[in-house]
Structure 1
Amino acid sequence: MDLKLFFNPIDESLTPESFDNDSLIQSIYINENKMPSIDAIDIAIIGLNETSGNPEITDTGLRFIRKKLYSLKKGEGSCNIIDLGNLRNGPELEETYKRIQAVCHKLISKGILPILIGGSHDLDIGQYLSYQEEEKMVSIVNIDSRFDINEKGTQITNQNHFHKIFTHEPNYLFNYTQLGHQSYLVNPSADKVLTQLGFNSLRLGAIREDFRRVEPLIREADMITFDLSAIQKMYCPAGDRSEVFGLTGEEACQIMWYAGMNDKLSSVGIYEYNANKDSNDHQSAMVIATMIWYFIEGFKNRKGEKGFQTNDYIKYVVTLDVNPESIVFYKSRLSDKWWMEVPNINHTGIYDRNYIVPCDYNDYQQATKGEVPERWIQTFSKMV
């Protein structure tokens, strides 16, 4: 695949010479007139201009986001980043999905993490389809103020795209987690649908009660999709459906920090920026840029926490008086994070091994009291 055939170069005004010597752009390979090599790249930024799923967005404002992002300071540590430019839309929306799928699959297969910015939220369909050829189950975390699972209409939009993902065949969606939705914007039946499917949701109020609950949910994700409507309008007025209430800008950045540190995560998308709704100084573009900056900083701090049979982990076996007879927990010596092991009793199909699910200390404490954590039950039910 020749990537230059898929992309338009970035705006000519955004050149390294236009920014300070210690700004982030000085450490980014830019698609100007010639597409740089992707060899040894860690993160690839991709601009999206497709808005068919939300005609309200008439200006994706990618130039504003890039200007804010490029002007930020480099931060500590090293990370090889490339900005591939803006993906060329297909003649039809479905073709754009396929282009996103092809590009992201190529990058992910080479160990490069794509960051998709701009466009309508339904473009995460292409992001999801990029995992199809991997032949493994995928866990998605979606940060959004609403549930986009409306079944009405045949045309795919930013309000029904997850119905398309849920019903896609072949089905390789292992888990879906919705974060930050606002109960007064959500039909109660939608939450029940997620529960029936064995999926998770954590409303805005529950996040506010204990923000630490977010981290293990983020840590399970292979893919994150972030609708800017989840952020309060005072912080992000250009989130196309942003409301008075929602996440703060700081909370959005904290989520992106968690996401960057997730060794399992291999793609992230930030959608629904409507430049026409932004402030004169492009406040929302700055919020997005800062979210990306925190993601990159989190990425630099990844610990490589995947091999649980090493001395980097403390293993705890908690015996129970109920079924299961015991639960195995792992605690990282590097980060103090927790996981628990869910057995695959059939040892067939895609779950040929036990499943290690992220958790927290509260799950361990619950098990020591003789109770089976809900997270364990939910994961086990998907494997039988």
Structure 2
Amino acid sequence: MQPSTDIPETAPDDPRLARWLRSEPDEGKPGVVLVGFPSDEGVKRNDGRAGASAAPGQIRRQLYAMTPDAEDSDRFIKLLEHTNDVGDVPVSGDLQADQLTLGTVIARYLEQGIIPIIMGGGHETAYGHFLGYAENGFATSILNVDAHTDVRPLKEGRSHSGSTFRQALEHGSQCAETYLVAGLQPHAVAASHLAFIDRHRGHYLFRDETNITSISGLFHSHESDRLMATFDMDAVDQSCAPGVSAPCTNGLLPDLWLTAAYLAGRNKQVTSFDISELNPEYDRDGQTARLAALTIWQFMLGLSQRS
């Protein structure tokens, strides 16, 4: 797995993240890794717009061109010195096999105490992400920021981007201790989906209930030692994120979305993070890709400020 971008080198007095993310960590083993999962087979199965498989490369282009935090550059650069982009997980189109492969990759990092940041791909990414916990036998809560619950049944016995959290909650390992989801659109969620979450002692917030206070509360509404964070870009209003697999009318505004990513980074219980459903084929001037990259930047900012 090797990342590739065509972001040029920058001047010494104007460093960009590419300087660190392209290089091996200064002290050997990284504390944070970026991993791409260029799959959208699950989106196709769920009747979404194909194209999310191209997302990791576009996210890198935008992220690599960003600068370290100008307000507290020392701490941000210290994090970058322990961060490595390890490239994309190779995918075959066999979704179940690809998710297992992603799980094995993530399991290795979790076992070493390394925080993986996963760039999807469709939201089937999150199930492969979860399998990393299951492979290690690590119990975790799952926090999802999303317009949809993604607890639909399998289709003809096959997983898809909308079945992710049903699969996690029903996994034989029982490693998914609870499920927390914020940003739901009432016109895009069936009552049976909410009943399923209730049966599994989960919590959910609709779009008009989702604010900084309520999201902060979700971070403290579980008893797990670990928290897997997953951010689906279709939660963001389509005026700000047109390039997604399922555009969202009246979605979250970027300031709330980005603050949620920052809070996830700050929270010591968050041991992994993924972002999914960027679809470059439908993007406008790279607007959604930049937002995806800035979401990761905000998460990293939070990580850099963990005490």
Cα offset, 1:63, TM superposition = 2.6
Cα deviation digits, residues 329-368 of structure 1 (max 9, x gap): xxxxxxxxxxxxxxxxxxxxxxxxxxxxxxxxxxxxxxxx
CA spacing shift, 1:251–1:196, aligned 2, 3 Å: same
1:370 aligned partner:
none
CA spacing shift, 1:189–1:95, aligned 2, 3 Å: closer
Counterpart CA distance in 2 for 1:143 and 1:216 is: 13
**Counterparts in 2 of 1:310-325, with a 5 A limit?**
none
Tell whether 2:286 aligns with 1:282: yes
Deviates more, 1:12-21 or 1:81-90: 12-21
Tell whether 2:268 aligns with 1:259: no
Cα offset, 1:11, TM superposition = 2.5
CA spacing shift, 1:95–1:18, aligned 2, 3 Å: farther
CA spacing shift, 1:276–1:20, aligned 2, 3 Å: farther
What letter corresponds to residue 286 of structure 1 in structure 2?
R
Contact 2:103 2:135 in 1 (8 A): no
**Counterparts in 2 of 1:165-204, with a 5 A limit?**
165-204=168-207
Query: Which of these residues, 285, 299, 302, is aligned with residue 298 of structure 1?
Result: 302
Larger RCO, structure (CA 8 Å, separation 6 or more): 2
CA spacing shift, 1:54–1:68, aligned 2, 3 Å: same
Counterpart CA distance in 1 for 2:100 and 2:30 is: 23
**Counterparts in 2 of 1:113-132, with a 5 A limit?**
113-132=115-134
CA spacing shift, 1:194–1:12, aligned 2, 3 Å: closer
| Higher share of residues assigned helix | 2
What letter corresponds to residue 201 of structure 1 in structure 2?
Y
Identity of aligned residues (%): 22
1:51 aligned partner:
40
Cα offset, 1:36, TM superposition = 7.1
CA spacing shift, 1:29–1:152, aligned 2, 3 Å: closer
CA spacing shift, 1:64–1:194, aligned 2, 3 Å: same
Cα offset, 1:132, TM superposition = 1.9
Give the paired residue count: 289
Structure possessing the higher radius of gyration over alpha carbons: 1
Cα offset, 1:115, TM superposition = 0.6
Moved over 6 A (4+): 35-38
Query: Which of these residues, 100, 103, 108, is aligned with residue 102 of structure 2?
Result: 100
Residue 41 of structure 2 aligns to a residue whose secondary structure is coil
Residue 237 of structure 2 aligns to a residue whose secondary structure is coil
Pairwise CA RMSD: 2.1
Counterpart CA distance in 2 for 1:134 and 1:118 is: 22
Contact 1:19 1:25 in 2 (8 A): no
Cα offset, 1:119, TM superposition = 0.8
Cα deviation digits, residues 198-251 of structure 1 (max 9, x gap): 11111111114xx21211313556101111111100111112112121111111
Contact 1:29 1:36 in 2 (8 A): no
Residue 146 of structure 1 aligns to a residue whose secondary structure is coil
1:155 aligned partner:
158
Structure 2 segments unaligned to the other structure (5+ residues): none
CA spacing shift, 1:238–1:91, aligned 2, 3 Å: closer
CA spacing shift, 1:57–1:207, aligned 2, 3 Å: same
What letter corresponds to residue 290 of structure 1 in structure 2?
L
Cα offset, 1:10, TM superposition = 2.3
What letter corresponds to residue 43 of structure 1 in structure 2?
V
Counterpart CA distance in 2 for 1:144 and 1:113 is: 22
Cα offset, 1:109, TM superposition = 1.4
Q: TM-score, normalised by structure 2?
A: 0.87
Tell whether 2:216 aligns with 1:222: no
Counterpart CA distance in 2 for 1:133 and 1:70 is: 31
